[in-house]
Amino acid sequence: MFLFFSIAFNATDGYIVHYATFMASRTYLVVDVNANRPNGSDAIALSEAQRVFAKYLNPAKGSFFVNNPDSVVGFPYVGVGFDFKQKFSFGLIGVKDAMNLKSESYLGREPTRAECAERICYAMLGVGGGCESLVHYTLYDNGC
């Protein structure tokens, strides 16, 4: 009977970790402070993701990490994760050592306002236009 309770608590803890990781990843996905350079919002997005994660779970129970757009090869691998240890059983039956577990959520990252401006200006240069001033430009292109 204790084994079933132990497994149930482990599953519940796992769901809480996954939910906290997902919510932090959603936050990291959308934070934009209208900075004038493409990675200008990354630090604030990281702190907001950590704040959201801490609302659901104590980050001291493991290691919270972020794969930001500058540190990974492909944008599909941008997101957050959490490494933690947990015992699977109560010691009489099963493994006595804690297992290394990982929760990851890679939702990517929305392009920032500065990235959209760069893309639009680059496209305008191709058709003979220009972006001498990055103050006034129109952003309409597949959501960017």
Q: Which pLDDT tens digit goes with each residue over 111-134?
A: 777 777 777 777 777 666 667 665
3-state secondary structure of 86: strand
Q: Are residues 26 and 89 in the same domain?
A: yes
Q: Are residues 116 and 97 in the same domain?
A: no
More confident residue, 20 or 123: 20
Q: Are residues 120 and 143 in the same domain?
A: yes
Q: Are residues 62 and 86 in the same domain?
A: yes
pLDDT at res. 128: 66
pLDDT at res. 95: 67
Q: How many domains does the chain have?
A: 2
Please give the average per-residue pLDDT across 78-93, as a whole number.
79
pLDDT at res. 78: 82
Residue at 130: amino acid letter: G
* pLDDT tens, residue by residue, 23-46: 999 998 888 777 666 667 788 888
Residue at 83: amino acid letter: D
Q: Are residues 144 and 78 in the same domain?
A: no
Q: Are residues 103 and 117 in the same domain?
A: no
37-46: b (≥16 Cβ within 10 Å) or e: ebebbbeebb
Q: Are residues 126 and 90 in the same domain?
A: no
55-76: b (≥16 Cβ within 10 Å) or e: eebeeeebebebbbbeeeeeee
Structural domain including 73 reads 2-110
Q: Are residues 141 and 105 in the same domain?
A: no
Q: Are residues 78 and 116 in the same domain?
A: no
Q: Are residues 57 and 116 in the same domain?
A: no
Q: Are residues 72 and 122 in the same domain?
A: no
Q: Are residues 96 and 122 in the same domain?
A: no
Alpha helices for 31-112 (secondary structure H): 42-56
- Mean of the per-residue pLDDT values of the chain: 78
